[in-house]
């Protein structure tokens, strides 16, 4: 299903994400061995850029109901905030139209990796 959604979003793909917009992308963290968990396919709203890094809220860190609440209220818990290094992304950020965000947030697109 993930590939089908990526294909549907391909026309809105970019290599330059913008603050305030929603994206799904493939990610390979630089320090993944030091992280307890990480999401290979983050679904984020970009907050800002600092020193070449992207601060974003990854709603995959919420339950389905929590995702809808955060989206509808435009308030994202601190537990969802992550810094991403754009060059560690697959260079394609699939932009998601704001009207499609609630629906797509309910699909199981995340892929969490856990370190022990």
In a domain, residue 115? The reply is: no
Residue range of the domain that includes 69: 2-106
Domain count, the chain: 1
Q: Are 114 and 36 in contact (CB under 8 A)?
A: yes
> Rounded to whole angstroms, how far apart are CA atoms 5 and 107?
10
* Cα separation of the two ends of the chain: 28
In a domain, residue 116? The reply is: no
In a domain, residue 111? The reply is: no
The structure's pTM equals: 0.93
pLDDT by residue, tens only, the chain of 116 residues: 888 988 888 998 999 999 999 999 999 999 889 999 999 999 999 999 999 899 999 999 999 999 999 999 999 999 999 999 998 888 899 999 999 999 999 999 999 999 87
């Amino acid at each position: 299903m993930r590939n089908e959604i990526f294909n549907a979003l391909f026309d809105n793909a970019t290599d330059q994400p913008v603050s305030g917009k929603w994206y799904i992308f493939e990610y390979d963290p630089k320090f993944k061995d030091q992280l307890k968990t990480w999401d290979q396919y983050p679904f984020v709203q970009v907050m800002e850029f600092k020193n070449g890094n992207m601060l974003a809220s990854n709603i995959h860190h919420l339950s389905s109901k929590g995702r809808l609440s955060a989206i509808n209220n435009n308030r994202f818990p601190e537990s969802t905030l992550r810094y991403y290094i754009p060059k560690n992304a697959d260079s394609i950020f699939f932009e998601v139209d704001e009207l499609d965000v609630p629906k797509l947030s309910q699909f199981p697109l995340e892929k969490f990796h856990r370190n022990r």
